[in-house]
Amino acid sequence: QICDATERERTLAMIKPDGLLGNYTDKIKTIILESGFGIIKERMVQLDDEKAALFYAEHSGKSFFQSLVKYMTSGPVYVMVLEKPDAVSRWRALIGPTDARKAKVSHPSSIRAMCGSDLERNCVHGSDSPQSAAREISFFFGDISPAVTKHDEL
Ligand code: RTP
Ligand code: MG
């Protein structure tokens, strides 16, 4: 049992404003649960410019940054902490490529193919590494209990 528990990994999943507006939340959560992820935490958040810019700080120098911040603040987002073995890469595989327009051709059963529109409006986010996942999970949820719980000593 301890062996299984230590193989667990967590990632941050987000339904972006276009996903919420298009009423894809229940559909996406069903896919998540049917794919064997546990949903450890979840909440709806309205990002402001400062928070959106901080979340995507790695892209701050890029041409699409201002547009990205505008998109990410255009309505609420729904953030979830997902857990299962290889959660980071498994969730990235489920959502598909960044450009939803291309996803509809190359990965038609992906989540971005289902609810995204183009390179920017791609309806979902996934952490790109375990390090990013740790940063993004604490960004939205602060310090939460770790995946492996130590048994209490009596
Ligand atoms: P995400 O971080 O949201 O999961 O997306 P990703 O890893 O697949 O792509 P990333 O390169 O991290 O880009 C972050 C988000 O910025 C928007 N974007 N716009 N117009 C453009 O050239 C462009 N490129 C990226 C997308 O919303 C992308 O998800
Ligand atoms: Mg990214």
Residue 132: give the domain boundaries. 2-45+79-141
What is residue 146's predicted lDDT score, i.e. its pLDDT? 81
The CATH number assigned to the domain holding 85 equals: 3.30.70.141
- Does ligand 1 have an atom closer than 6 angstroms to the CB of 119? yes
For the chain, strand residue ranges (E) read 8-15, 38-45, 77-85, 124-126
What spacing in Å lies between the alpha carbon of 70 and ligand 1's midpoint?
13
Is residue 149 assigned to a domain?
no
Amino acid at 90: R
- Which whole number is the average pLDDT over 69-83? 98
Is residue 99 assigned to a domain?
yes
What spacing in Å lies between the alpha carbon of 64 and ligand 2's midpoint?
13
Is residue 88 assigned to a domain?
yes
Is residue 69 assigned to a domain?
no
What is residue 145's predicted lDDT score, i.e. its pLDDT? 86
Is residue 84 assigned to a domain?
yes
What is residue 76's predicted lDDT score, i.e. its pLDDT? 98
pLDDT in tens, 2-46: 555 558 999 999 999 999 999 999 999 999 999 999 999 999 999
The Cα 147–Cα 132 span in angstroms is: 16
- Does ligand 1 have an atom closer than 6 angstroms to the CB of 68? yes
Q: What percent of the chain has pLDDT over 70?
A: 92
Q: Which of 70, 78, 122 to mutate to test the pocket of ligand 1 (most atoms within 8 A of CB)?
A: 122
Is residue 154 assigned to a domain?
no
86 and 127 Cβ atoms separated by less than 8 Å:
no
Total domain count, the chain? 1
